[in-house]
A and B are shown apart, each in its own frame.
Chain A
Amino acid sequence: MRKILAKIAFLSIAAILVLSACGGGGGSQLAPLGDEFTFGMILVGPHNDHGWTQAHYDAGLYVEQQIPGAKMIYLENVYSGSPAYPGTTTSQLAEQLVAQGAKLIIFNSDDMKDEATKFAQDHPDIYVIMASGDQVWADGNAYIAMENMTNIMGRMEYGKMIAGCTAALTSQTGKIGYLGPLINDETRRLASSAYLGAKYCWAQAGNDPAALEFKVTWIGFWFNIPGVTSDPTQVADDFFNSGYDVVISGIDTTEAITEAKKYSDAGTPVWAIPYDYQGACDTAPGVCLGVPYFNWGPAYAATIKTAQTGDWTSEFQWNGPDWANINNPDTSAVGFVKGAALGADASTQLDQFIADLAGGLNLWVGPINLQDGVVYLADGVIATDQQIWYLPQLLEGMEGQSVSE
Chain B
Amino acid sequence: MKKNIWVNLGFQAGALLVAMLVTTGILAAAGAPPFQAYWSMLKGAFGSWDSIVTILISWSPLLLTTAGVLITFSAGLWNIGVEGQMGVGAIFTTGMMLLLQDTSLPPALIIILGILAGIIGGALWAALAGALKVFGGVNEIFGGLGLNFVATALTIYLVFGPWARPGVASMSGTKPFERELWLPTLPGTSLSLWALGLSILAIAAVYLLLRGTHFGLRLKAVGKNPKAAFLLGVPTWQYSMFAFLLCGALAGLAGAIQVVGLRHNLLPNISNGYGFLGLLVAMLVNYQALWAAPVAFFFVALNTGSVQLQINYKMDSSFAGVLQSLLVLLVLLGEGARQRFLGTARKAEPSESEIRNKQVK
A interface residues (Cβ-Cβ under 8 A, vs B): 1-2, 4-5, 8-9, 12-13, 16, 19-20, 22-26, 73-77, 79-81, 83-89, 91-93, 95-100, 110-111, 114, 122, 182-185, 218, 220-221, 225, 227-229, 392, 401, 403-405
- Which of A4, A24, A80, A183 makes the CB contact (< 8 A) with B267? A80
* Interface contact A96-B57, CB-CB below 8 Å: no
Q: Cβ of B114 < 8 Å from any Cβ of A?
A: no
Q: Does B160 contact A (CB under 8 A)?
A: yes
Separation of A218 and B58 alpha carbons in the complex (Å): 33
A218 to B304 CA separation, bound complex (whole angstroms): 34
How far is the CB of A274 from the nearest CB of chain B, in Å?
Answer: 21
8 A Cβ contacts from B4-56 to A: 44, 47-54, 56
**Nearest chain-B residue to A183 (Cβ)?**
B169
Contacts of A8 in B (CB 8 A): 293-294
Q: Is the CB of B318 within 8 A of A84?
A: yes
Contacts A19-B49, A24-B187; A84 near B169 (Cβ below 8 A): no
Q: What residues of chain B lie closer than 8 Å to A20, measured between beta carbons?
A: 186, 193
How many Å from the CB of B255 to the closest CB on chain A? Answer: 12
**Interface presence of B161 (CB below 8 A):** yes
Give me 30 A-to-B residue pairs in the complex whose CB atoms sit less than 8 angstroms apart, sorted by A's number.
Answer: A23-B186, A23-B187, A23-B189, A24-B188, A24-B189, A26-B188, A76-B310, A80-B171, A80-B268, A83-B273, A86-B274, A87-B58, A87-B262, A87-B300, A89-B190, A92-B50, A92-B57, A95-B54, A99-B50, A99-B51, A122-B189, A182-B169, A183-B167, A183-B168, A184-B169, A220-B170, A221-B170, A221-B171, A392-B167, A403-B166
Residues of chain B within 8 A of A73, CB atoms compared: 311
Q: Are A5 and B207 in contact (CB under 8 A)?
A: yes
Instruction: Write out the residue numbers on chain A whose beta carbons fall within 8 Å of the beta carbon of B47.
Output: 99
**Cα of A9 to Cα of B312 in the assembled complex, Å:** 35
Cβ 8 A contact of A92, one of B54, B168, B173, B176: B54
The distance from the CB of B131 to the nearest CB of chain A, in whole angstroms, is: 26
Q: Which 9 A-B pairs have the closest CB atoms?
A: A81-B269, A182-B170, A404-B169, A183-B169, A404-B164, A24-B187, A95-B50, A87-B58, A99-B48
Within 8 A of A (CB), among B267-304: 267-270, 272-274, 277, 290, 293-294, 300, 303-304
* Given A2-B211, A86-B303, A404-B168, 12 more pairs with CB closer than 8 A: A19-B49, A81-B268, A81-B269, A86-B272, A88-B304, A95-B54, A98-B50, A182-B170, A184-B168, A220-B169, A220-B171, A227-B152
Is B170 in contact with A183, judged by CB distance below 8 angstroms? yes
**Does B170 lie within 8 Å of A228, measured CB to CB?**
no
Give Cα A114 to B49, complex, Å.
Answer: 23
8 Å CB interface, B123-176 against A: 152, 156, 160-161, 164, 166-173, 176
Mark out the residues of chain B between 169 and 199 whose CB falls within 8 Å of any chain A CB in the assembled complex. Answer: 169-173, 176, 186-190, 193, 196
Bound-state CA distance A12–B193 (Å) is 12
Q: Hey, which chain A residues are within 8 Å of B50, CB to CB?
A: 92, 95-96, 98-99
Task: Please give, as numbers and ranges, the residues of chain A lying within 8 Å of B196 by CB-CB distance.
Answer: 16
> Are A75 and B187 closer than 8 Å at their CB atoms?
no
Q: What is the CA–CA distance of A4 and B270 in the complex, to the nearest angstrom? A: 34
**Does any Cβ of A come within 8 Å of B98's Cβ?**
no
Complexed CA–CA distance, A97 and B58 (Å): 18
Are B303 and A87 in contact, CB atoms less than 8 angstroms apart? Answer: yes
Nearest CB of A to B120, in Å: 23
If over half of B's interface residues share one DSSP class (helix, strand or loop), that class is named, otherwise mixed; here it is: helix
Q: For the complex, what is the distance from the CA of A225 to the CA of B171, rounded to whole Å?
A: 10
A74 in contact with B311 given A83-B318, A87-B61, A88-B304 (CB within 8 Å)? yes
**Structural contact, B303 and A83, CB atoms closer than 8 A:** no
Q: Which of A74, A81, A95, A97 has the most chain B CB atoms inside 10 A of its CB? A: A81
Please indicate which of the listed interface residues A75, A100, A403 has the most CB atoms of chain B within 10 Å of its own CB.
A100
Cα A93 to Cα B269 in complex, Å, equals 18
Closest-CB distance, B329 to chain A (whole angstroms): 18
B308 at the interface (CB under 8 A from A): yes
In this assembly, does B307 line the interface, its C-beta being within 8 Å of a C-beta of chain A? Answer: yes
Find chain A residues with CB under 8 A from B52 CB. 19
Partner of A12, one of B200, B304, B312: B200
Q: What residues on A are CB-neighbors of B357 within 8 Å?
A: none
Asked whether B171 lies within 8 Å of A96 as measured between CB atoms, the reply is: no
Docked Cα-Cα span, A165 to B293, in Å, equals 61
A25 to B189 CA separation, bound complex (whole angstroms):
10
A358 CB to closest chain B CB (Å) equals 32
Query: Do A87 and B160 have beta carbons less than 8 Å apart?
Result: no
Q: Provide the bound-state CA to CA distance between A229 and B171, in Å.
A: 8
Measured between C-beta atoms, what is the minimum distance from B173 to chain A in Å?
5
Residues of B contacting A26 in the complex (Cβ-Cβ under 8 angstroms): 188
With contacts A75-B307, A220-B171, A404-B168 known, is A91 near B290, CB below 8 A?
Answer: no
Contacts of B190 in A (CB 8 A): 89, 91-92
- The closest CB in chain A to the CB of B317 belongs to A84
Most buried by A among B57, B268, B277, B308: B268
User: Which residues of A lie under 8 Å from residue B265 when comparing CB positions?
Assistant: 114
* Alpha-carbon separation in the docked complex, A220 to B268 (Å): 12
CA distance A81 to B310 in the complex (A): 18
Residue in A23, A79, A87, A122 with the greatest tally of chain B CB atoms within 10 Å = A87
* Residue in chain B with minimal CB distance to A218: B169
**Most A CB within 10 A of own CB, among B44, B167, B170, B269:** B170
CB closest residue in chain B, given A26: B188
Structural contact, B167 and A184, CB atoms closer than 8 A: yes
> In the complex, which residues of chain A have a beta carbon less than 8 angstroms from the beta carbon of B293?
8
Interface contact B308-A96, CB-CB below 8 Å: yes
B316 interface contact, C-beta 8 A: yes
